[in-house]
Amino acid sequence: MTRKSFERLTEDVRRTALLEATLDVVSQDGIPGASVRRIALKAGVSAGLIRHYFDTKEDMVRAAYMYLMDGLTMRAAEMAAKAKGQPEASLARFVQANLTKPSISEHAVTLWATFIGLNKSNAGYSDVHRDAYREFLEILEALIFPVLRANDRPDDSTTCRQLAIAMNGIVDGLWIEGSLAHGLYDSADLPRIALHACEGIMRLPDGSLTKHLTL
Amino acid sequence: MTRKSFERLTEDVRRTALLEATLDVVSQDGIPGASVRRIALKAGVSAGLIRHYFDTKEDMVRAAYMYLMDGLTMRAAEMAAKAKGQPEASLARFVQANLTKPSISEHAVTLWATFIGLNKSNAGYSDVHRDAYREFLEILEALIFPVLRANDRPDDSTTCRQLAIAMNGIVDGLWIEGSLAHGLYDSADLPRIALHACEGIMRLPDGSLTKHLTL
DNA sequence: TCCGTTGCTATACATTTGTATAATAATGTG
DNA sequence: CACATTATTATACAAATGTATAGCAACGGA
């Protein structure tokens, strides 16, 4: 019997490939369907190899979760950095970016939700979520502060924090429903809906944020 | 060998008990840990009985999901009905109720997220989510409309709908983070944060909703 | 009080699972 | 080009899983 020919990859490349295969399978078949064998098949690799990179299946799944959330928050931070200019434009672009593709994605929401569902049964997962959430809040706060200052609104840290919590809530909520593509409305409206709401939340004049909407 | 003694229950009672045991186990151990045997153990019943009530395990899990969402939206509708009086008070109480116990619940959020995570892999689940979401939107719209009218704000159906989408987003987003109890802030602040935000979203005078906060 | 119905237990079984280990071949280094 | 290293395949195995089925016992109607 002849063996399958294979390619030796560097540790990082193979490891990342395994993590991405894990996310693909979990997203497609759910946690119940995410067996070691199916993940290995997706990665084009024999099942035994997984134990060469991860001590246990759960280690791999948790690593995949961290990989996912790191990617999401990193992209969010990049979008925030890219949106330089006036404060309102930066904030608007950040919100808009989170509510358009590729952020709007059934794949990502499915995974995000799946892992939140594991929060309670496994302490490791809740740490990952909390860290990602905190980071997102910090990014939002940093974007909110200059907008408040430029508009002569109260900009103390408590206010910033509470506005960030509220605006993160609306972005998250719309991100979820928009990504699930249930057909109840056109998710192309979401950026406008969100920005109009954020204007109100921050008590800014109408149009302050929505006028920065880009097609 | 002596058999376990047991009690014969009516179909509905036993069925409901099985559904609740399913939700308990899924919430506590996640889908991976939710084996037929463990669910039966939780329900105080032998494993074989499950097949007497459900053709397959997946049937049971899906039924449990519907049972969960029915309960959540029914409670939401009850809260909306109970909150009679001026329009602002009704809306405020509805939002507050969704952001305090028992709605704020790690158990409920964990389950909600777990099943969203199965949306993609199994069409049946996404139907349940969509129906529950639509119902929630309709309740919110019905609460929003009289508030707009009483405040001489535009109250056409498009406006109502978009406000409902935005406000559902913020309620959902805060509900999730508040329930996960990650310790980043005190979730007792959430009702005030949400109502203050909703005032802004609807362009109501400050205090219109927050003054109806009850301790 | 008996007895049939059927809710329920108990057991069996083939599959799938995660993990462990031995064998092999791709690769870089001398 | 030989050779050691180790990434990778292949196989094995016990445990857990979903499902099927045989038979017991609780309860209601006669």
Q: What is the pLDDT along chain A (215 residues), one digit of tens a residue?
A: 577 888 888 889 999 999 999 999 999 999 989 999 999 999 999 999 999 999 999 999 999 999 999 999 888 888 888 877 899 999 999 999 999 999 999 999 999 999 999 999 988 899 999 999 999 999 999 999 999 999 999 999 999 999 999 999 999 999 999 999 899 999 999 999 999 999 999 999 999 999 999 97
A36 touches strand C (CB under 7 A): yes
Comparing CA positions, the residue from B160, B147, B131, B137 lying closest to residue B195 is B147
The angle formed by the CA atoms of residues A61, A67 and A73, to the nearest 5 degrees, is 135
Yes or no: say if B77 and B140 are a contact pair by the CB < 8 Å rule. no
Please answer whether residues A32 and B125 qualify as being in contact, where contact means their C-beta atoms are separated by less than 8 angstroms: no
Q: How far apart are CA B162 and CA B157, in angstroms?
A: 9
Average pLDDT of span B86-115: 95
Phi/psi region, residue B54 (left: phi>0; alpha: psi -120 to 50; beta: rest), is: beta
Nearest to B152 by CA among B205, B197, B207: B205
Minimal CA separation from B9 to chain A, in Å = 31
Distance A6 CA to C25 C1' (A): 9
Q: Give Cα B28 distance to the centre of its chain.
A: 17
To the nearest whole number, what is the mean pLDDT of chain B?
94
Residue among A121, A134, A194 whose CB faces B29 most closely: A121
Cβ-defined contact of B196 to A162 (cutoff 8 Å): yes
Instruction: Please give the Cα distance from A7 to A29 (Å, whole number).
Output: 27
Rounded Cα distance, B53 and A117, in Å = 26
CB proximity list for B137: less than 8 A, separation 6 or greater = A184, B161, B164, B165, B168
CB proximity B14–strand C (7 Å threshold): yes
DSSP H or E stretch at residue A108? helix A106-116
CB contact under 8 Å between B117 and A110, yes or no, is: yes
Which residue has its C-alpha nearest to nucleotide D24's C1'?
Answer: B3
Closest-approach nucleotide to residue B58, Cα vs C1': D18
Mutate to test the interface with A, among B68, B120, B158 (most CBs of A within 10 A): B120
CATH numbers and ranges of domains, chain B? 9-54 (1.10.10.60), 64-212 (1.10.357.10)
> How far is CA A17 from each of CA A41, A43, A45, A106, B121, rounded to the nearest angstrom?
12, 6, 10, 21, 22
Chain A residues close to B121, C-beta within 8 Å: 28-30, 33
- CA–CA distance, A101 with A64 (Å, rounded to integer): 22
CB B178 within 8 A of CB B190: yes
Distances (CA, A) of A18 to A40, A52, A88, B119: 7, 11, 40, 23
